[in-house]
Amino acid sequence: MIKLINYITIALIPLHLIKVPLFRNASLNILDLLLLLSVLTNLTWIIRKKYLKNFLNISLLTKIAFLFIFIGFFVSFLFNTTKINIFDNLGILKSFLFLPIFFSWTVSFLVNKSLLTIKNILLSYLSMSTFLASTGIFYFFTKELTFDGRVEIFLDSPNHLAILLSLSILLLINLINSKKYFKSPILKYFLLLLLLIHTFSTIATSSTGAFLTLIVLLFVFFVKEIRNIRYNNLQLLLLAIIFCISITLLFSQKITSSLGYTQKSPPTSTDSRIVIYEVTRQIIANDYLTGIGPGNFQEKYLSKQRYNPPFPQWAVPHPHNNFLLFLVEGGLFSLFGIIILFVSKWNTKKTPLGALIFFMLFYLLIHGIIDTTIWKNDLSVIFWLFLGILLFYPKEITISKI
């Protein structure tokens, strides 16, 4: 039963769209309920098996990192929460941070104890993304598209859909090339069909960020193989590049202006992001220490309108960059915390599928340079789950236990 609960939770991630009202402005979505059920079930098993001491035995550096993140967002919450937004802010912390982290922590421990397998976790995710990809094809041929002709189905945006599908494209490419897990020719053809479905729906989203990220990852993979770069060195190199680009984005308006770039008419997504990063810089200049609080970016963004030319995009719930999001909403402490987690040693040798998870995780981080890929109900669960598998409990697992 415990296996089924965890795998079903991953397979039913899109159910975050269905909410159960509690009281006043508070609600729980179905994914929250599934995460809570999984965490409680996992903790019950851990306590009954007398593994609680082992469960709590994570590295000191990891504990410090999470302490920084929690303190940062807690302080930010205290300084910026009002009676009007208190439930919204608490809901964001619950769904985007606390539940995904504790789910990742307990699942990683069960993987370490060989109760859950990474292969089945990834297959659960694939079943979910296959549903989304198939729905995307249906929406495409029935012309249920956005105003600019892109597929987004029932999600927040075409980019949101593209992120979820691109992760499975990486997974399917790995499975098709694997000689260990799937030896049947019929099954190979089935996986090829799934790859075609995912690729078609991803193309239909017209997500430039998804296409560029997949190309970059393919390039990184070949360079790693040719140069025989160790995963930990590659991890630090990629993170340094991502962080430097993220900081540079804060000055994108000044850089593009000095290069003679002018806003198009009508404005493009590039024009929108240039303004978003400039406004983010202005917000950070005033609130870099404590942040502006979870979920308050839209309000702060609009409050800066009087200091800027007319915005090309008004609905902007986040700064379109993962590092900048932690800094602007959680303050310096949260940014330090997530950086510590990112530079900690990720054990890709823990499982034969560790390298795949490494690249799937870096898909989220690279795409996260121009989008917020770890701050939504579903994406938060996936991000923290992948990170937790590589980060928590560094003991290697033998191949026979996967």
pLDDT tens column, 89-114: 999 999 999 999 999 999 999 999 98
For the chain, state the CA radius of gyration.
21
Closest CA to 249 of 211, 288, 276: 276
Question: Residue 41, by phi and psi: left (phi above 0), alpha (psi -120 to 50) or beta?
Answer: alpha
- What is the Cα–Cα distance from 159 to 326, expressed in whole angstroms? 20
pTM of the model: 0.94
* pLDDT lower than 70: segments of the chain: 24-25, 180-183, 394-402
> What CA–CA distances, in Å, run from 224 to 83, 221, 232, 304?
51, 5, 11, 43
The pLDDT score that the predictor gives to residue 344 is 93
State the maximum Cα–Cα separation within the chain, in Å, rounded to a whole number: 66
Q: Do 43 and 35 meet the contact criterion of CB atoms below 8 Å apart?
A: no
At 258 the pLDDT is 87
- Tokens matching residue 60: 């000191």
Amino acid at 6: N
pLDDT for 316: 87
Dihedral sign (CA 397, 354, 322, 316) = negative
Q: How far is CA 215 from CA 116, 162, 236, 349, 387, in A?
A: 32, 14, 20, 25, 22
* 29 strand-pairing partners: 19
Contact 262, 287 (CB under 8 A): no
Q: Which residues contact 378 (CB under 8 A, 6 or more apart)?
A: 13, 14, 16, 31, 164
Tokens of 310: 């007319």
Q: Tens digit of pLDDT for each residue in 157-194?
A: 999 999 999 999 999 999 988 776 666 778 888 999 99
Strand (E) or helix (H) holding 29: strand 26-29
Distance CA 320, CA 393 (A): 31
> How does DSSP classify residue 96?
I
Contact assessment for residue 62 and residue 391, using Cβ atoms and an 8 Å cutoff: yes
pLDDT at 402: 35
Q: Give percent of the chain above pLDDT 70.
A: 96
- What is d(CA 167, CA 160) in angstroms, rounded to the nearest whole number? 12
The token duo for 172 is 């399917």
